[in-house]
Amino acid sequence: MNALSMILARREDAPRALTAALVEKIVDRASNELILLTERLSFQTRFKNALSATAGLFRYREVEPFALLAGRDAAAQTLRNNLEKAQIILERTRRRVPRFDEKLGLISSIRDFLDGAGDPAILVRIEDLADDEGNAEEQCPVAPASQTRRWTISPSYRRFRCCPERHPGSRRRQLRLWGVNPTF
């Protein structure tokens, strides 16, 4: 789903490479993925990729202006029904869903696109939706709350940023202060 969402959302020639049959297959897979992930309460990268692939399909309207309209297309109506199911599940479990309002707004925007309206910047909004399992961001536990900046430890790049004026010494010492094993 990741590769599909990247191609549909970012490639300039993606809309011209799609056919009506391919759009139907992608709609079916992406909407089923959204329902499955919503039922599992899994809102990490796969959920974001499924939303991005679904929204990227609307670029097919550059080739076929009336594609994916819920009133005219059976696949679009199925997608709309699945998005309604996902929205109901989200609303039922709103307290356990991180960034509930953003996710509900994105699903509503996609439903609006199926009705012929929608936010033209939907792909940008999906890209801005942070991964819930991504980098850990927390307040600096050593400095007072009024003087802290955000700090991030990125396991893939082994990067460290904090408020250096409050914590003199090496990065290894700072990492040890917060209970992180400094292996880089």
Nearest Cα residue to 123 out of 58, 46, 45: 58
Residues 90 and 162 in one domain: no
Rounded Cα distance, 133 and 14, in Å: 29
Q: Rg of the Cα trace of the chain?
A: 21
Residue 71 has, within 13 A of its CA and on its CB side, a CA count of 6
The whole-number pLDDT of residue 125 equals: 83
Residues 80 and 148 in one domain: no
Domain that holds residue 104: 2-128
Rounded Cα distance, 54 and 48, in Å: 10
Q: In what order do the strands lie in the sheet with 159-161?
A: 136-139, 150-154, 159-161
Per the structure, how many domains does the chain have?
Answer: 2
Residues 79 and 153 in one domain: no
The verdict on residue 102 lying in a domain is yes
Residues 155 and 108 in one domain: no
Alpha helices in the chain (DSSP H): 2-10, 14-17, 20-39, 45-56, 74-92, 100-114, 122-128, 171-177
Beta strand pairing status for 136-139 and 150-154? antiparallel
The whole-number pLDDT of residue 146 equals: 44
Q: What DSSP state is assigned to residue 161?
A: E
The tokens for 144 are 């007072």
The list of the chain residues with pLDDT below 70 reads: 130-184
Residues 96 and 146 in one domain: no
pTM for the full predicted model: 0.66
List pLDDT tens digits, range 32-46: 999 899 888 888 888
